[in-house]
């Protein structure tokens, strides 16, 4: 059964809800939330507080506000700070300057403050990554306090939205600063379906113990390169992983990755949205697998696997002949193999001097003549549509032509004793006879 109550001078009394039109006008007027255009990235906000009791939260962490006294000192004209003691179903109050009930305050959680005159309270800090409300039932009113987180649940804009999002919730309340009391919306009704704003506090009734925000959804994690089922032509791929979580947020400290079953977590550079690693040690040709996992702040684990195959890009040069005497004319054949893409560039460096002699977008065969004796490394270069490159070389040996020797005798015959003249000469087209 829904309960309609109001807080008047610290007492719980029955409350008659006013017309929805008047409620929305007073709520919007007194509960103005001013923060950056992107709520999920907000780093500051302003509460416009009216004389009397106001519902707020401590929306940020890193503010230096740790106690009720800290909170009272940070808010202009504040003389009292309250929190709702759910187990005992009552407010606990701390008077500014008093040592009594100086309770701890926590980022993200709801509180109530009393100000002696209208004032604005501006606060900045870091949005809490994750916090949870443990909502309980009691023998009496079953009232719990919550605040709407700044960094998520942005689709919750009305009391009905909030009631539907909280498990086992049957009534939602907002604070009416003008009337200094709570206004209730029974779930499923058209009564008092007031707007709700991130950073503000609300009361809810639950019919069973529950937690909220309820986050049972694991984070999304994807291995974007190499893609699962892909065929790549490098043994040193760049590994890229993305992850996200719309509820409690990613806990980057829990990232884990394995390459072919070997823990490789420490090799990755991890950011808030992903992880990368440029492989430096060759992976084996053939089948490979990458597995990765990460948890959100609620403890849910997301996993991803990429099974991929490495098939090497190859340049395949051919030459005939590979040795002979200068001038040596060699016929070069141009070929390549690219299992993961298409070869888009072919180049030859016939004499291995580092300067490319040809450039083609299709395979073409060439003849090249070597006029000078020596040993040459003819290099074929190929580039794939995937961006990978490969080279291969063939050794061409160009030899000196041998010198030519001629000999003669004059006369070449006669009676003994025969005296002859020996005549000899030689030629060398590559050099000189010495």
pLDDT 10s digits, 5-61: 333 333 323 333 333 333 333 333 333 333 333 333 447 899 999 999 999 999 998
* The 181-186 sheet, strands edge to edge: 143-147, 201-206, 169-176, 181-186
Spatial CB neighbours of 253, under 8 Å, sequence gap ≥ 6 = none
Rounded to the nearest 5°, which phi and psi values hold at 334?
Answer: -115, 125
pLDDT at 153: 58
Q: Is residue 128 located within the same domain as residue 144?
A: yes
**Under 8 Å CB-to-CB from 226, ≥6 apart: which residues?**
232, 237, 239, 290, 306, 308
406, 426 in Cβ contact below 8 A?
yes
Residue 158 has pLDDT above 90, yes or no: yes
Query: Is there a domain that residue 433 lies in?
Result: no
Residues 147 and 231 grouped into a single domain? no
The model's pLDDT over 168-181, given as tens digits with 9 standing for 90+, comes to: 999 999 988 878 88
Give the chain's mean pLDDT: 86
* Predicted pLDDT of residue 37: 33
Query: What's the rounded Cα separation, in Å, for the pair 378 and 370?
Result: 11
pLDDT tens digits for range 384-403: 998 999 999 999 999 988 77
Residue 273 pLDDT more than 80? yes
Residue 388 maps to which CATH number?
2.60.40.10
CA distance 155 to 350: 67
More confident residue, 423 or 35: 423
Contact 276, 310 (CB under 8 A): no
CA distances from 391 to 334, 361, 368 (A): 12, 16, 19
Q: Which helix (H) or strand (E) holds 68?
A: helix 68-74
Task: Give pLDDT tens digits for 78-91.
Answer: 999 999 999 899 99
Average pLDDT of the segment spanning 224-241: 95
Among candidates 372, 362, 368, which has minimal Cα distance to 349? 368
Token pair belonging to 19: 């017309």
Domain membership flag for residue 253: yes
Residue 419 maps to a domain = no
Confidence at residue 152, expressed as pLDDT on a 0 to 100 scale: 59
- Confidence class for position 151, pLDDT limits 50, 70, 90: low
Please give the Cα distance from 405 to 192 (Å, whole number): 119
* pLDDT for 154: 65
Residues 77 and 28 in one domain: yes
Q: Is 162 helix (H, G, I), strand (E, B) or coil?
A: helix
Same domain, yes or no: 154 and 269? no
In this structure, of 39-53, 190-204, 270-284, 332-346, the range with the lowest mean pLDDT score is 39-53
- Look-up: residue for tokens 């806990």? 251
Distance CA 245, CA 255 (A): 13
pTM: 0.52
Least confident stretch, 193-207, 257-271, 292-306, 395-409: 395-409
Give the CA diameter of the chain: 157
Q: What percentage of the chain exceeds 70 in pLDDT? A: 87
Residue 387's alpha-carbon distances to 169, 290, 316, in angstroms, are 57, 22, 18
Same domain flag for 261 and 341? no
Please indicate, yes or no, if residue 410 is contained in any of the structural domains: no
| Same domain (yes/no): 201, 340 | no
Q: What pLDDT is attached to residue 430?
A: 64
CA distance 190 to 394: 85
- State mean pLDDT over 407-413: 79
Backbone angles phi, psi at 43, to 5 degrees: -120, 0
Residue 166 lies in a domain: yes
pLDDT at position 306 is: 98
What is the domain extent for residue 375?
Answer: 314-399
Nearest to 192 by CA among 162, 160, 154, 164: 160
CA dist 139 and 209 (Å) reads 12
Lowest mean pLDDT among 42-51, 236-245, 278-287, 355-364: 42-51
| Cα-based angle 227, 229, 230 (whole degrees, multiple of 5) | 60
Number of domains, the chain: 3
Q: Is the pLDDT of residue 416 over 60?
A: yes
| Band (214; pLDDT cuts 50, 70, 90) | low
Q: Is 42 a member of any domain?
A: yes
**What mean pLDDT comes out for the span 187-206?**
93
Is the same domain home to 393 and 372?
yes
Tell whether 409 is covered by a domain. no
User: Has residue 119 got a pLDDT over 80?
Assistant: yes
Is-contact 409 421, C-beta < 8 A? yes
Q: CA angle at residue 134 from 133 to 139, to 5 degrees?
A: 130
242 and 268 co-located in one domain: yes
* Same domain? 146 vs 269: no
Do both 392 and 370 map to the same domain? yes
Residues 238 and 352 in one domain: no
The per-residue pLDDT for range 97-114, each reduced to its tens digit, is: 999 999 999 999 999 999
Query: What average pLDDT does the segment 366-381 reach?
Result: 97
Same domain (yes/no): 32, 180: yes
Give me the percent of the chain exceeding a pLDDT of 90: 65
- pLDDT category, 326, cuts 50, 70, 90? very high
| Domain membership flag for residue 434 | no
Specify the pLDDT at position 246: 81
Sheet with 78-85, edge to edge strand ranges: 52-57, 110-115, 78-85, 90-95
Report DSSP letters for 8-39, one per residue.
Answer: ETTEEEE-----HHHHHHHHHHH--EEE-SSG
3-state SS assignment for residue 186 = strand
Contact, 375 vs 396, CB < 8 A? yes
- DSSP letters, 110-147, are EEEEEESS-EEEEEE-B--S---EEE---SS--EEEEE
Beta strands at 5-8 and 11-14: parallel, antiparallel or unpaired: antiparallel
The larger pLDDT score, comparing residue 341 to residue 366, is at 366
| Domain end call among 289, 310, 331 | 310
pLDDT value at position 422?
Answer: 76
Provide the pLDDT for residue 25. Answer: 33
């Amino acid at each position: 059964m829904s309960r309609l109550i109001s807080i008047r001078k610290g007492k719980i009394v029955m409350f008659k809800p006013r017309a929805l039109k008047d409620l929305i006008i007073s709520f919007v007027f007194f509960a103005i939330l001013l923060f950056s255009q992107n709520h999920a990235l907000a780093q500051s906000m302003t509460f416009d507080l009216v004389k009397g009791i106001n519902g707020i939260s401590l929306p940020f962490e890193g503010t230096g506000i740790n106690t009720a006294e800290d909170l009272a000192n940070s808010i202009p004209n504040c003389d009292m700070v309250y929190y709702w003691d759910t187990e005992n179903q009552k407010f606990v109050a701390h008077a500014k300057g008093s040592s009594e009930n100086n309770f701890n305050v926590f980022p993200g959680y709801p509180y109530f403050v009393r100000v002696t005159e209208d004032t604005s309270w501006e606060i900045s800090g870091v949005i809490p990554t994750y916090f949870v409300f443990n909502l309980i039932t009691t023998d009496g009113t079953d009232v719990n306090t919550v605040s709407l987180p700044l960094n998520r649940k942005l689709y919750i804009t009305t009391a009905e939205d909030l009631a539907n999002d909280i498990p086992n919730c049957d009534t939602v309340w907002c604070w009416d600063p003008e009337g200094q009391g709570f206004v209730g919306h029974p779930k499923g009704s058209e009564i008092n379906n007031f707007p709700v704003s991130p950073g503000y506090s609300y009361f809810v009734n639950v019919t069973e113990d529950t937690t909220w925000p309820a986050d049972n959804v694991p984070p999304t994690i994807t291995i974007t390169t190499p893609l699962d089922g892909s065929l790549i032509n490098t043994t040193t791929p760049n590994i890229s992983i993305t992850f996200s979580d719309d509820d409690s947020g990613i806990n980057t400290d829990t990232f884990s990755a394995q390459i072919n079953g070997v823990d490789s977590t420490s090799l990755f550079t991890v950011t808030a949205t992903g992880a990368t690693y440029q492989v430096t040690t060759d992976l084996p040709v053939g089948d490979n697998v990458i597995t990765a996992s990460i948890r959100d702040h609620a403890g849910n684990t997301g996993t991803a696997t990429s099974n991929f195959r490495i098939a090497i890009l190859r340049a395949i040069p051919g030459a005939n002949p590979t040795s002979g005497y200068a001038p040596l004319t060699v016929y070069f054949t141009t070929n390549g193999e690219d299992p993961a893409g298409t070869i888009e560039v072919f180049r030859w460096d016939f004499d291995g001097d580092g300067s490319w002699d040809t450039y083609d977008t299709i395979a073409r065969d060439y003849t090249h003549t070597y006029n000078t004796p020596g040993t040459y490394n003819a290099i074929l270069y190929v580039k794939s549509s995937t961006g990978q490159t490969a080279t291969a070389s063939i050794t061409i040996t160009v030899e000196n032509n041998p010198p030519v020797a001629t000999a003669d005798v004059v006369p070449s015959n006669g009676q003994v004793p025969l005296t002859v003249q020996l005549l000899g000469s030689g030629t060398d087209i590559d050099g000189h006879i010495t």
